[in-house]
């Protein structure tokens, strides 16, 4: 899709959703089936992928690991956002390349020493090739980052609520619903 076609598409979407906000709500869902070890088959939106842990962590190593997918999703979402916002703002961009690097502590998921679970630091290095003024490209990146759902989903300010339903296999009915830790505000 050309930059002009992207611009027209997103101008149309912006206009329609601005006039009809009831059309903006979306729901997405993934179904995850764990095998006898730690590999999962994920079905989402008519697509399927196997996600697994490496053999040294008890998996089969049959697919990407969850943390690899998360970095890849973040990077792909950022790159697409840069392309879309560049088109919307009329800033020509030839290529976009970025690296997402994250630091964590392996003790966290093991419950060792009170170490936080998850990414402690994240670095995103972006290289954009464009003949536009540097200030224009910087503006594209700033706006795209501010409106990026993947970045927003990683924010510590986002409230999270989780619910667990345990189903007993012999009866096929829920036996327990347990809310888990929530962060932020609801």
Query: What would the DSSP string read from start to end of 120-178?
Result: EEEEEEEEEE-SS-HHHHHHHHHHHHHT-HHHHHH-TTS-B--EEEEEETTTTEEEEEE
Looking at residue 186, its pLDDT comes to 22
88 & 145 share domain: yes
Looking at residue 185, its pLDDT comes to 30
79 & 48 share domain: no
Sort 145 into a burial class: Cβ within 10 Å, 0-12 / 13-18 / 19+: middle
Count Cα atoms within 13 angstroms, Cβ side, for 11: 11
Range of the domain at 171: 161-186
17 & 70 share domain: no
Looking at residue 149, its pLDDT comes to 92
pTM of the predicted model, to two decimals? 0.79
Where does the pLDDT of residue 161 fall: very low under 50, low under 70, confident under 90, or very high at 90 and above?
A: low
Looking at residue 45, its pLDDT comes to 93
Token readout for 74 is 């973040």
Spatial distance between the Cα atoms of 97 and 94, rounded to a whole number of angstroms: 10
| pLDDT tens, residue by residue, 70-128 | 999 999 999 999 999 999 999 998 889 888 888 888 998 899 988 888 888 888 888 88
Q: Which of 15, 39, 63 is the last residue of a domain?
A: 63
CB 150 within 8 Å of CB 78: yes
Spatial distance between the Cα atoms of 124 and 68, rounded to a whole number of angstroms: 14
Instruction: Give the chain's domain count.
Output: 3
Looking at residue 181, its pLDDT comes to 33
| pLDDT tens, residue by residue, 19-43 | 999 999 999 999 999 988 899 999 9
Looking at residue 13, its pLDDT comes to 94
59 & 69 share domain: no
36 & 113 share domain: no
Decide which of 186 and 167 is more confident.
167
DSSP codes joined into one string, 16-61: HHHH-GGG-------EEEE-SSS-EEEEETTEEEEE---GGGTS--
pLDDT at 168 > cutoff 90? no
Angstrom CA distances, 72 to 75, 101, 127, 141, 181, stand at 5, 10, 16, 18, 26
Looking at residue 144, its pLDDT comes to 94
71 & 20 share domain: no
């Amino acid at each position: 899709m050309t930059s002009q076609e992207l611009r027209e598409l997103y101008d149309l979407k912006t206009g329609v959703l601005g006039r009809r906000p009831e059309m903006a709500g979306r729901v997405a869902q993934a179904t995850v089936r764990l095998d006898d070890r730690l590999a999962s088959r994920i079905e989402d939106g008519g697509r399927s992928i196997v996600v697994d842990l490496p053999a040294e962590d008890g998996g089969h190593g049959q697919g990407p690991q969850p943390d690899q997918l998360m970095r890849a999703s973040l990077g792909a979402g950022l790159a697409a956002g840069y392309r879309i916002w560049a088109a919307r703002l009329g800033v020509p961009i030839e290529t976009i390349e970025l690296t997402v690097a994250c630091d964590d502590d392996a003790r966290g998921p093991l419950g060792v020493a009170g170490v936080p679970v998850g990414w402690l630091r994240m670095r995103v290095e972006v290289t954009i090739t464009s003949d536009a003024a540097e200030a224009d490209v910087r503006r594209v990146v700033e706006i795209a980052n501010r409106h990026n759902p993947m970045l927003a989903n990683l924010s510590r300010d986002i409230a999270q609520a989780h619910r667990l339903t345990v189903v007993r296999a012999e009866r096929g009915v829920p036996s327990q619903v347990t809310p888990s830790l929530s962060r932020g505000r609801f």
